[in-house]
Amino acid sequence: MSASGLLVAGTSSDAGKSLVVTGLCRALARRGVSVAPFKAQNMSNNSAVCADGAEIGRAQYLQAQAARVAPESAMNPVLLKPGSDRRSHVVVRGRPAGILEAGQYATGRRHLAEAAWAAYEELAARFDLVVCEGAGSPAEINLRAGDYVNLGLARRFGLPCVVVGDIDRGGVFASLYGTVALLEPEDRAVVRAFLVNKFRGDPDVLQPGLDALTRRTGVPFVGVLPWLTGVWLDAEDTLEVGAWRRSDPRPGALRVAVARLPRVSNLTDVEALAAEPGVDVLVTTDPDVVAGADLVVLPGSRATVSDLGWLRTTGLAAVLAERAARGRPVLGICGGYQMLAARIDDPVESGAGPVEGLGLLPTRVAFAEEKVLGRPVGAWRGHRVEAYEIHHGLAALDDGAEPFLDGARAGAVWGTMWHGTCENDAFRRAWLAEVAAAAGSSWTPQPGAPGYADRREAMVETLADAVDAHVDLDLLLTGTRVTLPAARTGVAS
């Protein structure tokens, strides 16, 4: 029987699985294929909220947009959000579902596997093809017995698997060969193809290596994707925090320092800042960089009280206090906003109870058991702001506090619980202009610059173009129930 989907696995985390799935979803959608992304389990503190209030990984949210379908909880049925090195908060079908301890990772996930398999079956019944993204590497042999996201998923549903290797890291032949060599014969039979990612240079120089590896493994290559400039994706883990790097590191740029918290979450909030012309964004732990920036952003955190303690230990808390005293701009988002408050009472996330915040905003935060998940809409200075929220902490403003979106402002310090506010072009540019004025910067928005959503759409189209040009889709889809019509390029239907 023909397979209802395919699995995109990788030799390691950040080998390019998310990129390939995104490009495949758009390339197939452009050809009229009804396609859905799927990741059985995602371990990430970067998440988004669907229209129905379900929380899923940011990468799957983008992949759904690439497939031109509405994001939904079935596309990422299990989301693990690390709160420490040994504990993760569990989200099942978009809703909080308890805690998973490190010792349970290999043995205590049967109920999560069943939820993931049921979600896959739902998608397979409604779409022509389900493009599945693996996690980490399929050769993590210590976890194979309980695996339901890599070859465990592929074996259960009869999915062909393509393994992606990142040649830019070096050692791509060894990593691809080693991946299949570590697999048991039954798992090895599932691997139908290899795909090289991030290649720079002459493909003719690479070809002898591809041929040799195919002779040794029996696994053909379906393509070699080139290095693509101007392409970034929502990072799923800390390996690629700030994958967009500096957006415009030039004299006269508006300098933005983003504190790299130990348990940072939704750092993707600052991607829209990095995409703005003339804005230089740097993710850092350096107190001198934080002190000298025009704007400092405290992003979200999955461990607010713990990361607040880290700010104090590193000296960054003192730098932030000094900035506030001098009228130097600071923005706190979600957990970062909570840290700026006068007081935090947290019996839920950390169990610490009442602790003193940084005291830079006239706000008090109390954590509640029930997580707030939503897609709020507001306004600032007449600019519409669409956002999403994911938090246990509830902030109450002191009497006379100046509201800012759903949060507060005091002098040059702003805070909001809302994620995604900077993705709103008119708001972002107007607010950054006010920040620049407060910081004494000459930066102004560039007239006619493309908006954030337009840039992301162009990025997805670039990925799809690369897949169409450099991947043998017919070979890749061999064994699935999809037969491709001729390519239809461009933004469609």
Active site residues: 334, 419
> In terms of Cα–Cα distance, which of 328, 321, 273, 326 is closest to 296?
328
CB within 8 A of 293, min separation 6: which ones? 255, 256, 257, 282
Give dist(CA 236, CA 254) in Å, integer: 27
Give dist(CA 482, CA 130) in Å, integer: 10
CA 416 to chain centre: 20
Instruction: Find out whether 153 and 184 touch, Cβ atoms under 8 Å.
Output: no
| CA-only gyration radius of the chain, Å | 23
Give the number of other CB atoms < 10 A from CB of residue 468: 17
Three state DSSP letters for 346-365 = ECCCCCCEEEECCCCCCEEE
Give dist(CA 305, CA 72) in Å, integer: 31
- Angle CA(26)–CA(165)–CA(9) in degrees, nearest 5? 60
Give dist(CA 331, CA 338) in Å, integer: 11
> In terms of Cα–Cα distance, which of 167, 185, 72 is closest to 122?
72
Give dist(CA 464, CA 284) in Å, integer: 33
First to last CA, the chain: 31
Give dist(CA 480, CA 131) in Å, integer: 11
Amino acid at 378: G
Give dist(CA 36, CA 455) in Å, integer: 22
Cα atoms in the Cβ-side hemisphere of radius 13 Å centred on 468: 20
- Only one residue has tokens 């996690």, namely 135
Instruction: Find out whether 301 and 335 touch, Cβ atoms under 8 Å.
Output: yes
> In terms of Cα–Cα distance, which of 278, 63, 16 is closest to 169?
16
Burial pattern 430-455, b for ≥16 Cβ within 10 A else e, equals bbbeebbeebebebebeeeeebbeeb
